[in-house]
Amino acid sequence: MPQLSAHFHTREFHGPVHPELVRSLERLRTLRGDRPLKIISGYRSTEYNRQVGGAKKSQHILGRAADIPYGYATAQEATQAGFRGIGTKGRFAIHVDVRTGGAATWAY
């Protein structure tokens, strides 16, 4: 399994991952003082995404999304890092993605 970047490995994503997602995660890590960043959820198969209640057209299915720990970064920092989709769910994980098209923010 190959190393994707200086700090991320394919095994953290459990499937294919878009290079732009990795670049944005590296930028976010740099913005946060190079603090380690755990990937809670990366790639999801269509079946697994359905099992966990993910959106039908989830960016996770495309390898363009990751869920990261709550409190790791602000929405503003995520935007600065290049993420175009940012979702929050209370004190749970923060969803970040590099979707094509316009930006979107939401709370679950």
Q: What would the pLDDT profile of 51-71 be if each residue is shown by its tens digit?
A: 999 999 999 999 999 999 999
Within a domain: 5: no
Within a domain: 98: yes
| CATH code of residue 22 | 3.30.1380.10
Q: Which domain holds residue 28?
A: 10-107
Yes or no: say if 25 and 8 are a contact pair by the CB < 8 Å rule. yes
For the chain, the domain total comes to 1
Within a domain: 1: no
Q: CA-to-CA distance for 107 and 90, rounded, in angstroms?
A: 8
Within a domain: 4: no
Within a domain: 3: no
Within a domain: 93: yes
pTM: 0.93
DSSP E strands, the chain: 65-68, 85-88, 94-97, 104-107
Per-residue pLDDT tens digits of the chain, which is 108 residues long: 689 999 999 999 999 999 999 999 999 999 999 999 999 999 999 999 999 999 999 999 999 999 999 999 999 999 999 999 999 888 888 999 999 989 999 988
